[in-house]
Amino acid sequence: MTATASATESVTIEIGGIPIALRTEDAAFRDLLINRYAGFVSDSPEFESELAVELSEPRTALGSDDDVEVKKQGADWLIQRGDFRARWNSVSGQGKVRQSPNPYAIDSVLRILHTLILARQSGFLFHAASAIRNGRAFLFAGVSGAGKTTISRLAPPDVCLLSDEISYVRRCGEYYRAYGTPFAGELARSGENQTAPLTTFFFLEKGPENRIEGVAKTEAIRLLLRNVLFFAEDRELVARMFEAACEFADRVPIKKLVFKPNVQVWELIG
């Protein structure tokens, strides 16, 4: 779907080449969105999906730490947590969000919405850091404490950091591209709005020396799925994500990067 947004009431956030218009009558909230997603705000009036955002006071008993529910009803997806409730139609691209007036609620809605869109395109949001070096993109995933923030912080000046927390990958024919995201982790800064072909997916592990090891395909798929952000309670979409992960493992080199926390590790990358 491609439509046109009202320039006076909408802010269009384009992540991964997918523009989503957020329409609100609250001028202060529009300013908050522009500041929060600086670098990812699109000047184009066209969008693929549109969310009408209505602000409300947060419920006293629930908040952003509550579990997310993502359920399908026909062509509609119902997405809710303590601080927001959203409905999005996957056919028309239209949706509504009622949320508390904070940026964390809409941030979560956008992440979930992108996972639903990407699932239909064999793409992913990964819990991973990502970067571009010499025109090629690299992803770095791992359990908490494995070193995603560390590898990002150690990046030399010629590296373009796409994200230290949430990495965006889309399939483009026979290969995949990585895109920058505004979803920040411990570095507390937005990634660069850049893109490049994905060259290698690394699983991080801290060790006494810097080295790269191979990963068996079955283990690679297991680790991939553990790092995919996906919230939907839908059997068909879950099966599609599993197939997409298998295809990804066939086309993208998946390796283990054992490293010491020093800048020399980047001599092995790129």
Q: What would the pLDDT profile of 78-97 be if each residue is shown by its tens digit?
A: 999 999 999 999 999 999 99
Going by C-alpha positions, the residue among 82, 119, 146 that lies closest to residue 231 is 119
Dihedral in degrees, nearest 10, Cα atoms 19, 24, 27, 31:
-30
Q: Is the pLDDT of residue 146 over 90?
A: no
Identify the band that residue 4 occupies on the pLDDT scale cut at 50, 70 and 90: low
Same domain, 216 and 192: yes
Residue 62: its pLDDT value, please? 43
Q: How many domains does the chain have?
A: 2
Q: Is the pLDDT of residue 212 over 80?
A: yes
Residue 259: its pLDDT value, please? 93
Same domain, 201 and 263: yes
Count helices and strands (H / E) in the chain: 5, 18
Same domain, 200 and 110: no
Same domain, 100 and 160: no
Same domain, 147 and 95: no
Q: Which of 92, 119, 146 is the last residue of a domain?
A: 119
Same domain, 161 and 99: no
Same domain, 184 and 200: yes
Q: What percentage of the chain has pLDDT greater than the value 70?
A: 94
- Domain span at residue 97? 3-119
Same domain, 197 and 244: yes
Is pLDDT larger for residue 205 or for residue 59?
205
Q: Which amino acid is at 57?
A: E
Q: Which of 83, 104, 119 is the last residue of a domain?
A: 119
Same domain, 141 and 242: yes
Name the token pair of 48. 């693929």
State the CATH number of the domain containing residue 185: 3.40.50
Region 19-33: mean pLDDT is 95
Q: Is the pLDDT of residue 229 over 50?
A: yes
Same domain, 26 and 158: no
Residue 67: its pLDDT value, please? 86
Alpha-carbon gap, residue 198 to 232, rounded angstroms: 26
Region 223-230: mean pLDDT is 94
Residue 2: its pLDDT value, please? 59
User: Which pairs count as long-range contacts for 96-101, CB under 8 Å and 24+ apart, including other chains?
Assistant: 96/51, 96/52, 96/53, 96/54, 97/51, 97/52, 97/53, 97/54, 98/54, 98/55, 98/56, 99/53, 99/54, 99/55, 99/56, 100/55, 100/56, 100/57, 100/58, 101/26, 101/29, 101/55, 101/56, 101/57
Q: Which of 95, 119, 143 is the last residue of a domain?
A: 119
Q: To the nearest whole number, what is the mean pLDDT of the chain?
A: 91
Same domain, 141 and 43: no
- Per-residue pLDDT tens over the stretch 34-81: 999 999 999 988 999 999 999 987 554 445 557 899 999 999 999 999
Same domain, 113 and 134: no
Evaluated on CA atoms 91, 114, 173, 1, the torsion sign reads positive
Residue 90: its pLDDT value, please? 95
Residue 61: its pLDDT value, please? 40
Sequence-distant (6+) residues with CB within 8 A of 51 are 20, 21, 22, 23, 86, 88, 95, 96, 97, 109, 113
